[in-house]
Amino acid sequence: MSLKIIDLSVVCSNNTPGVSIKLQDDLPVYLGYECYAYDLDIKSHTGTYFETSSHLFRNGTNTDQYPLDNLILPCFCARINSSQRCITASMLESAAGEIKPNHALLVDTCGDKGKYFSKDAAVWMAQKKVKLFGSNVNRYDTGFENPTGFFVDLFEAEIPIIASLRNLEMLERNGLTLIVLPLKIHGVCTVPCRVVAVYGLNL
């Protein structure tokens, strides 16, 4: 079986805001080889990250509780190529109305990272039974001032997000499997993750 794998994750380094990487002092030596080990300091909302409903709701699901079978999913990639900044339910219906229940949804904004999502877009995803959602926008909502309320309905429906995705323009609309592997840290709602799209993997 021939697989095509596309990495959708951001590369982090010491030049990434929120990241500090330092080689540890007094490295152990094994058979004459110095064994490299690092001190890593990474903020939760850094690089490509996975975020659950506990970001808003204290009784929500944290990253260590999220089931693995909800992180390896058939996926639909919708493209929104519109001058309108706010992505609404009607726009998603036009671009991805045929998405099947319990699929992941990725939204490619065709290079416009300044777009954001309306509250009814989250309602639409819940009605379509989207299991996992990601996009390549800079923000999913407008921020803390005059927000659309997108996150409230999304997290109430227990739909987690993947943020800061790359290479969505390389994806076809369907026929792919999305694999998301977040760090497993107890009691934390947001963690960096590795995300790949795989073609040729039949679930």
What pLDDT, on the 0 to 100 scale, is given for residue 178? 98
Burial class for 133, CB neighbours closer than 10 Å (0-12, 13-18, 19+): buried
- Gap between the Cα atoms of 47 and 192, Å rounded: 6
Summarize pLDDT for 85-143 with one digit per residue, the tens.
999 999 999 999 999 999 999 999 999 999 999 999 999 999 999 999 999 999 999 98
- Ranges of beta strands (E only) in 118-159 are 132-135
The rounded distance, in Å, linking the Cα atoms of 63 and 18 is 20
Task: Please determine, for residue 202, whether its predicted confidence score (pLDDT) is greater than 80.
Answer: no
CATH of the structural domain 4-9+44-199, one choice from 3.50.30.50, 3.40.640.10, 3.40.50.150, 3.40.1400.10:
3.50.30.50
Q: If you average pLDDT over every residue of the chain, what do you get? A: 95
pLDDT category at 1 given cuts 50, 70, 90 is: low
The mean pLDDT of 16-39, rounded to a whole number, is: 95
Quick one: pLDDT at residue 201? 83
The span from the CA of 201 to the CA of 4, in Å, is 9
Give the pLDDT confidence of 56-90 residue by residue, as tens digits. Answer: 999 999 999 999 999 999 999 999 999 999 999 99
Q: Return the closest-CA partner of residue 122 out of 83, 95, 94, 89.
A: 89
